[in-house]
Amino acid sequence: MKLTDQQRDAISSDDHTAVVACPGSGKTRAIVAKILSCVDNVRDTPRQVACITYTKTAVYELEHRIRVFGGQGDEDCCEVSTIHAFCHNNILRHFHWLLSEYKEGFIVLPSDSDVYLGIADEIGEEYKLSSYARQQFELLNRKPNGEPISVDEIPKEAALEFWARLEAMGCIDFCNIVYYSYSLLSKHPHIAKGLASKLAYLLVDEFQDTSALQVEILKLISDVGVTKFFLVGDPEQSIFSFAGAERQLMFDFAAYLGAPNLPLSGNFRSSPAIIDCAESLISKNPRMEAVGDSARFTESPEYHDVANNFIGITERFLPAVDALGITVGNCAILAQSWMLLMPLGRQLRNYGIPVVGPGARPYKKRHLFVGLAEQICAYIDKPDTSLIKQTERELFHLINNITGRADFSVYKFSGSRVVVRLLWEGRRLKESHEGAVDWLTAASSKFAEILIEEKLLPQSCLALFNESAANIIAEMKSQGDLDVPNLMATDLGMFANPSKNLKLLTFHGAKGREFQAVALISVQDGRIPYHNKYNPLTQEGHDEAKRLLYVGITRAERMLMIFTDKSDWRNPSPFINDLSISNV
């Protein structure tokens, strides 16, 4: 694996290390190289390597690269997971019986399950929360003392009542998996000793997104004194304060470990002009430098004040993209909120632009049958072996949502056989049910029958699948601008395999992503930075908003356009004046 001098220096130490990685620095390559180096040290021993990263997508990417670059059996020596999966698999699953709240066991309740949503609605009614606020319970987190880190829309009393009702049902949400794992480690030191004895190395990716509660867990493991830590992150991309993340935590924990801060300053993603734009907003030391293929691009970032976002995208952004020969599948539109993207997504879809993101799907993603149906339709449209793995993941999550248990047999040969059977059946049904409505109706029953026969799901799931498909169809028909009778089954697949679609993402959702061309819309005061008469602007809010814009800018490889919307009464963001950008 080819590494830069900085990457090689970062992974060479066998002691605690903190790596401050700029955007596009190839940190994933450095992490994979470090994992494989650590695996070499633990092979043929009872100890293991663990890597914690922020999202499931990042987990899948790291696992894939370990399989590509590692040797046979290397994946058996390391565990790559999110913090929630790490705590569940290593702590809560084994020691829940020490908790009075979950002495008899627990069911992990995902935020898109009907039970979760039902409790959120009950609490919403009691506390007179808006429909928007009721969708925000999944963003709740906790401090080490158990106090809720509540989003603005949800009072702390409502958060505590929500968790109490989950506990009463023997259920637990993701944030409490972490909280109760910390409780176990802090009250029962032998658990931390056992876990540290197992882990020779613990790598933490995206450390700037780590909360104080998560840091306390890491401290308890490090205090045993037998685990080496490798931290990777960029404090200037710390944008999840609502989830408890704090910019300073990476530096503080590195100091706690006595770990040096080593830089990765070479940017393999963006052009020099885009890097100049980012550096004009937040300067790094050492300064970012363009070292990848994009270093040859000379297009300057542009700022446009347009009549509205739709006109800006269709009359400015897309023509410029086309002139450069960039396909829309390699482009993204970013906004501060999904509420800005929703109407734009509908407008672009009606305009004939293939889009994926808020407003693109003619139904909500949370429906039980959606993920599996979309993946199989994507495979029907274009058979691709990578889609088989993605279908396995969707099946795994579906089983977990219905049964509350993680059935890892899905990833074994028996599970792969079931997935192939589902793909074959989906393809067969398409021959007689080409329309999306007919296919969904037929597939929901047939897929349920297969999964019941394979003993992966209980008999009751037949009704669940049929109900979910009916809800998807009803939601599609409620869209007045959608020609449902002519919607094909293969059209559903574009949401699972969006390589040819224009991406619509929030700034937070775009974290870790990269695109040849990026448009930032509604970059206006009150949005970036966010504030209003009920939420006055603080210094912390101002600084995080600057980092949020920095993240958006650094998603772009070749072309960047920033738009303000004249139809919005808000003034342009004050940050625009700081940017090295062409005002067109």
Kindly report the three-state secondary structure assignment for every residue of 511-560.
Answer: CCCCEEEEEECCCECEECCECCCCCCCCHHHHHHHHHHHHHHHCCEEEEE
Measured distance CA(254)–CA(267) in Å, rounded: 23
**Which range (32-41, 84-93, 134-143) has the least confidence?**
134-143
| pLDDT tens profile 267-298 | 999 999 999 999 999 999 999 999 999 999 99
The closest of 307, 308, 260, 269 to 288, measured between CA atoms, is 269
Which range scores top for mean pLDDT: 186-190, 433-437, 505-509? 186-190
pLDDT for res 412:
84
pLDDT for res 95:
97
pLDDT for res 490:
78
pLDDT for res 481:
55
- Is residue 537 within 8 Å of residue 578, measured between CB atoms? no
pLDDT for res 263:
95
Angle, helix 174-187 to helix 189-198, in steps of 10 degrees? 100
Instruction: Give, as one character, the DSSP assignment of residue 327.
Output: -
Cβ neighbours around 254 below 10 Å, total: 21
pLDDT for res 535:
82
Angle, helix 27-42 to helix 56-69, in steps of 10 degrees? 60
- Is residue 380 within 8 Å of residue 427, measured between CB atoms? yes
Measured distance CA(215)–CA(256) in Å, rounded: 11
Predicted confidence band of residue 401 (pLDDT cuts 50, 70, 90): confident
Residue 67 backbone dihedrals phi, psi, to 5 degrees: -65, -40
* Mean of pLDDT values over 577-581: 91
pLDDT for res 434:
86
Comparing 54 with 174, the larger pLDDT belongs to 174
Predicted confidence band of residue 440 (pLDDT cuts 50, 70, 90): very high
Tokens of 99: 């908790």
- Is residue 282 within 8 Å of residue 20, measured between CB atoms? no
Q: pTM surpassing 0.75?
A: yes
- Is residue 490 within 8 Å of residue 440, measured between CB atoms? no
Tokens of 83: 């913090």
The CA-based angle 293-297-301, given to 5 degrees, is 125
Measured distance CA(455)–CA(576) in Å, rounded: 57
- Radius of gyration, alpha carbons of the chain: 24
Q: Are strands 515-520 and 355-356 parallel, antiparallel or unpaired?
A: unpaired
Name 251's Cβ contacts closer than 8 Å, sequence gap at least 6: 18, 235, 261
> Which residues is 231 bridged to in the sheet?
18, 204
- Is residue 270 within 8 Å of residue 290, measured between CB atoms? yes
- Three-class secondary structure assignment of 147-190: CEECCCCCCHHHHHHHHHHHHHCCEECHHHHHHHHHHHHHHCHH
pLDDT for res 479:
66
Q: Where are the beta strands (DSSP E) in 336-406?
A: 355-356
The closest of 13, 25, 78, 26 to 51, measured between CA atoms, is 78
**Which range (148-162, 179-193, 200-214, 557-571) has the least confidence?**
148-162
Amino acid at 212: A
DSSP string computed for 453-520: HTTSS-TTHHHHHHHHHHHHHHHHHT-TT--GGG-BHHHHGGGTSGGGSEEEEETTTTTT--EEEEEE
**Which range (408-417, 515-524, 549-558) has the least confidence?**
408-417
pLDDT for res 450:
94
In the block, residue with structure tokens 């999306």:
436
The CA-based angle 4-6-12, given to 5 degrees, is 100
| pLDDT tens profile 312-355 | 999 999 999 999 999 999 999 999 988 899 889 888 888 888 88
| pLDDT tens profile 348-373 | 888 888 888 765 566 777 788 888 99
> Which residues is 80 bridged to in the sheet?
51
pLDDT of 495 > 70? The answer is no
The closest of 404, 387, 408, 388 to 396, measured between CA atoms, is 408
* Mean of pLDDT values over 37-59: 90
Mean pLDDT rounded to a whole number for the chain? 90
CA 531 to chain centre: 25
The closest of 271, 305, 294, 273 to 562, measured between CA atoms, is 305
Residue 97 backbone dihedrals phi, psi, to 5 degrees: -65, -15
| pLDDT tens profile 221-272 | 999 999 999 999 999 999 998 888 999 999 999 999 999 999 999 999 999 9
The conformational region for residue 139 under phi > 0 = left, psi -120 to 50 = alpha, else beta, is: alpha
pLDDT of 491 > 80? The answer is no
- Is residue 514 within 8 Å of residue 366, measured between CB atoms? no
Comparing 412 with 261, the larger pLDDT belongs to 261
Measured distance CA(356)–CA(486) in Å, rounded: 19
pLDDT for res 482:
61
